[in-house]
Amino acid sequence: MIFLLVLTVLCFYCTGSSWMLQFVCYPTYTFVGDKEFVPFHVSFGRRLIAAAVVPMVLTCLGTFALLFLRPAAAPMWTAIVAAVCGAVILLTTVVLEVPKHLKLDKEGKSDAVLQALVRDNIPRTLAWTVASLVLAYALWVSLPA
- Per-residue pLDDT tens over the stretch 102-127: 999 999 999 999 999 999 999 999 99
pLDDT at 128: 98
User: What predicted TM-score, i.e. pTM, was given to this entire model?
Assistant: 0.94
First to last CA, the chain: 14
Contact 80, 134 (CB under 8 A): no
Tell me which amino acid residue 119 is: R
Residues of the chain under the 70 pLDDT cut? none
What is the maximal distance between C-alpha atoms in the chain? 60
pLDDT at 144: 85
pLDDT at 137: 98
What is the C-alpha separation between 15 and 132, in angstroms, rounded? 7
Residue 99's domain comprises 2-142
pLDDT at 145: 74
Number of domains, the chain: 1
Residues in CB range of 69: below 8 A, 6 or more apart: 3, 4
Contact 86, 63 (CB under 8 A): yes
Contact 114, 26 (CB under 8 A): yes
